[in-house]
Each structure stands twice: as C-alpha cells, then as structure tokens.
C-alpha cells in the first residue's frame, strides 16, 4: 500500500527513478548527490527531475536555463530553507543562512544594509582587505613560502574587522582557536539520518556541534565587551549597529541577541571557508598553468607596477587578470549544489505545479559547466570571460553565487561583493609579489630496508 501511495504521489512531480518506501529513490544515485550522479540523473530524466529521500521529494534543477528559471521566475516562492535536524542544532531557526520568514527577512535586510554602511563595495572594506593581503605576503616572506595555509585566517580577519571592529594578529592563539573551530564545522550528516541516536553517540558529528557552540560563545564575549564599553556616538562595527538596532522600536522586531549571534556566525560560516578555498584553487591553477600566471604578471606590470596599492576599481584596467579570477571561480566550482531551497507556498517551477514544502536542489555546477553556454567547459580557459579584443565580458551562466544578479533579491549570496573584492585584492597581491610554483613530485612516504651484498 505504501509503495502504491508513493507511486501515486510521485506522478505529480517531475520525472525520476522509482521511489520505494523508506529508502525513496536515492538508491539510484548510490546514496550520493555528487557531480557524476547528478549528471547521470539529468541524462536519464532531463533538466528537472525528482529524487525521493524516503517520502520527501527533492526536485533537482540541472543546466543553466533550468537553474536560472527555477530560482528566479517565482523567486520569493522558492526562497525557503529546510529545517533539518542539523540546521536546527546549528542555528535554531535564527540568523540568515538557514532561517525563514520574518526572522530571515529582517536579519538579511539588516545584514546587507550594515555591510554596505561598513564599506562593502567601497573604500571602507577595501582598506581592511589590503591590510590582510599585506600581512599574508609578510607572513609568506617570514616563513619562506607558507602563506597558503593562512588564507582562511586572512578572510576571517576581514570579517572580524567588520563585525568586531578589530583584527587579530596571525599568531594570536585565541584567533587560531576560532579558525580551528570554524574549519571543523561541516555538517554532521549522520544526525540527519538517526537524530535521536546520534545525539548520544560520540563521534565527529558531536565534535562539529561543539565547534558551533565554541564559535557562538566567542561571538558572545565580543558582544559583552561592546556592552561594557557602552554606547558610542558613531557605530563602528556590525555589533555597534546591531545593539543600536535593538533599541529601535520596530513592529514585530526580531532583533535580539540570539539573532545577532547567529547572523555573525553565518557571516563567518558562509564567508570564510568559501573565499579561502577559492584562493587555494587560484594558487593551484597558477602552478598548473604557468603560462597564464606569466600573462597575469605581465598585465599587472604593464598596467600598475610592483609597488602599486591595489584597489578593487583597478580590475577595470586588468581585463585578463579579472577574467582569470572569474575562470578560477567557475572551474574551481566550490559549491556544487547550493544549500537546498524549499517552496514556501504552492508554486510552479518550469511548468510543474509543486506543493508548499517541496525541496529544490539547484545544481550550480551544471550551470558553470553547461556546454551550451561555455565554449570549452572542461578546460581552464580565461578566454570564457574575454571578447575578441581582450575586453572583460560578464557571462550570464556564471552562477557561482547563485542565480540572481541582484543582492537585494531573494536568497542570493549576501557577501558576493565582499568575496569578489577579497579574491581580486588578495590574488593580485600574491601574484604581484611572488612567483607561484609547485615543488618537485615526491614519492609517497615508504619504508625501505638495505641488506649488505
Ligand atoms: C567565493 C566565495 C563565496 C561563494 C562562492 C559563495 C556562494 C554562496 C552561495 C551559492 C550561496 C547560496 C545562495 C542560495 O541559497 O541560492 C551563498 C549564501 C550566502 N553567502 Fe555566500 N559565497 C561566498 C562568499 C561569501 C562571503 C564573503 C559572505 C559574507 C561574509 C557570504 C555570505 C553569505 C550568506 C550570509 C548567505 C546566505 C544568504 C541567505 O540565505 O539569504 N558569502 N553564498
């Protein structure tokens, strides 16, 4: 009976493999939503298909057009986030990244507005990024080439300056603890499968949750020291602005300390590892494609010179470098599928009527490698972002930050402009001050025994 019920239910959704009670249809992709299995799914069922996790349908969007139309035609309808066990333990419905409804609207609007007031997109934040880029290169010189491990420190420090009003030294022990806990936080999936049981069994999932607690208590200490300092005439950082907002008389206000802590937590979570990983890919590609590195260095030398203090505006004079950074983001493809969306009301996606609560998985990877939109999708080719005269061209299929151009619209990356500034300035600083090369190929460690002849 359960089987028949499920078949009846699945008829109303986009096509997909046959679902069975309990296991659904994810058996068809070997229980793994990775690049290869989602490609296989699209090949068999088309650009919109359904996977069932037990009795829960996930609608998968594949290819640039499907991802774009699916997320933007009725963008507000598909702007929800699923409240999974992990997300509840991580955020409890607060903050920006996985919240919904009024809390999400308030916190997101406040977050964007405040980041702009604090200089996102202009000189304000540029200065903080230049400072971090400077310390990275200094650290590189002092340690003879080990700056690569410090990307996450540099980009987290930019966020520290914005939210706490100060940066940390790269040697600071407390800061190291913050970074360590931030990096150990990836979602503990087992809690999703067996929530009740996993809460009592030790393992990486409990470690990840205790890392969340550490980061939150770190943020609370900073808020406490702001409170002790008392009100300031001019708010200097995110916490100042938020404390001020809490005193305003806003109808149905959701501005409280828990939401402040979680919003700051979300900025760290969404903004540290993402940007740092992209920078690590950047260096790897410069090692793998030395001819491209050389062309970037030539363009920098010709347009700016070695002692120039780089600013984001300079990208307009550096079309090739700008194209290389975009190609790093496209080819590095760090997100694969974006955090699943949920329909907040009955809606239509690519002609299918989807009921409220349906989960939607936009496969960003499939847009960044869509052969209809990229000339050589599986090659690292900065030419994707250049016209025949060598001018930089933006590409509509470049959905690294999700599927909408406008930050004020629903659920796109809130830190896109900050990320772009960081990538441009830090990449410039690295390539302009050093030649990046890989060391020799070494054999894996092995044990050897010599016997006398
Ligand atoms: C290379 C760097 C980055 C990439 C590739 C990236 C990508 C993304 C993607 C794909 C999403 C999901 C959007 C959706 O649901 O459709 C997202 C959301 C978000 N990002 Fe980023 N991001 C980056 C850097 C940053 C930075 C630097 C910040 C802020 C400091 C940030 C803050 C956020 C926030 C708060 C959200 C949640 C928005 C919401 O749910 O309303 N991101 N990002």
Residue-level pLDDT at 207:
78
- Residue of 157, 328, 413 with the most ligand 1 atoms within 8 Å of its CB, for mutation: 413
Distance 129 CA to ligand 1 centre (A): 18
Residue-level pLDDT at 221:
96
Distance 366 CA to ligand 1 centre (A): 18
Residue-level pLDDT at 396:
93
Show the ligand 1 pocket: residues with CB < 6 angstroms. Answer: 96-97, 108, 159, 266-267, 270-271, 274-275, 278, 334-335, 338-339, 400-402, 411-415, 418-419
Q: Specify the pTM.
A: 0.91
Structure token digits, residue 402: 């999700």
Burial level of 420, CB count in 10 A (0-12/13-18/19+)? buried
- Residue of 82, 111, 402, 415 with the most ligand 1 atoms within 8 Å of its CB, for mutation: 415
Q: Which atom of ligand 1 is nearest the CA belonging to 104? A: 41
- Residue of 401, 403, 405, 417 with the most ligand 1 atoms within 8 Å of its CB, for mutation: 401
Q: Which of 44, 46, 2, 1 is nearest to 24 (CA)?
A: 2
Q: Which atom of ligand 1 is nearest the CA belonging to 412? A: 13
Contacts 24+ apart (CB under 8 A), 47-51: 47/350, 48/14, 48/349, 48/350, 48/352, 49/14, 49/15, 49/16, 50/10, 50/13, 50/14, 50/15, 50/16, 50/25, 51/16, 51/17, 51/24, 51/25, 51/26, 51/361
Whole-number Å distance between alpha carbons of 330 and 278:
10
In the numeric block, the tokens 């009740």 are attached to: 196
Residues 6+ apart with CB under 8 A from 1: none
385 near 237, Cβ under 8 Å?
no
328 near 285, Cβ under 8 Å?
yes
Q: Could you say which DSSP state residue 316 is in?
A: G
Q: What is the mean pLDDT of each run of 10 residues along the chain (453 residues)?
A: 89 94 88 86 96 91 95 92 83 94 95 93 88 88 70 94 94 92 67 54 72 94 92 88 92 94 96 94 91 94 84 95 97 87 95 94 94 97 97 95 70 92 93 71 65 71
Residues 6+ apart with CB under 8 A from 114: 238, 241, 242
């Amino acid at each position: 009976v359960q089987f028949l019920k499920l078949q009846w239910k699945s008829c109303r959704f986009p096509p997909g493999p046959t679902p069975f009670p309990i296991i659904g249809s994810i058996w068809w992709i070997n229980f793994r939503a990775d690049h290869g299995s989602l490609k296989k799914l699209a090949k068999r069922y088309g650009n919109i298909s359904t996977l069932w996790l037990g009795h829960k349908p996930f609608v998968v969007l594949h290819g640039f057009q499907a991802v774009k139309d699916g997320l933007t035609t009725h963008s507000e309808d598909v702007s929800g986030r699923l409240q999974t066990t992990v997300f509840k333990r991580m955020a409890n419905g607060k903050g920006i990244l996985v919240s919904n409804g009024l809390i999400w609207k308030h916190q997101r609007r406040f977050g964007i507005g405040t980041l702009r007031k604090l200089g996102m997109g202009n000189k304000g934040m540029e200065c903080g990024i230049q400072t971090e880029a400077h310390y990275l290169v200094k650290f590189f010189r002092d340690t003879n080439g080990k700056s690569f491990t410090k990307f996450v420190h540099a980009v987290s420090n930019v966020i520290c300056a914005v939210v706490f009003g100060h940066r940390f030294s790269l040697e600071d022990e407390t800061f190291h603890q913050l970074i360590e806990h931030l990096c150990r936080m990836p979602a503990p999936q087992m809690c999703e499968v067996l929530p009740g049981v996993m809460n009592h069994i030790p393992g990486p999932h409990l470690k990840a949750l205790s890392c969340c607690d550490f980061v939150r208590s770190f943020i609370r200490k900073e808020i406490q020291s702001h409170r002790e300092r008392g009100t300031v005439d001019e708010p200097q950082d995110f916490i100042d602005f938020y404390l001020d907002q809490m005193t305003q008389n806003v109808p149905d206000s959701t501005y409280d300390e828990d939401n402040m802590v979680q919003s700051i937590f979300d900025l760290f979570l969404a903004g540290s590892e993402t940007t740092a990983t992209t920078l690590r890919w950047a260096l790897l590609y410069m090692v793998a494609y030395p001819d491209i590195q050389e062309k970037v260095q030539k363009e920098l030398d010709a347009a700016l010179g070695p002692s120039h203090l780089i600013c984001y505006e300079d990208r307009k004079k550096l079309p090739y470098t700008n194209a290389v950074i975009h190609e790093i983001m496209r080819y590095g493809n760090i997100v694969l599928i974006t955090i699943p969306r949920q329909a907040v009301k009955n809606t239509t996606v690519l002609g299918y009527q989807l009921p409220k609560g349906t989960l939607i998985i936009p496969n960003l990877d499939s847009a960044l490698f869509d052969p209809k939109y990229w000339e050589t999708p599986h090659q690292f080719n900065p030419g994707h972002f250049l016209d025949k005269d060598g001018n930089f061209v933006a590409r509509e299929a470049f959905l690294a930050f999700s599927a909408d151009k406008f930050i004020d619209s629903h659920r796109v990356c809130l830190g896109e402009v900050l990320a772009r500034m960081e990538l441009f300035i830090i990449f410039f600083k690295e390539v302009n001050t050093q030649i990046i090369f890989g060391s020799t190929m070494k054999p894996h460690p092995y044990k050897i025994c010599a016997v006398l002849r």
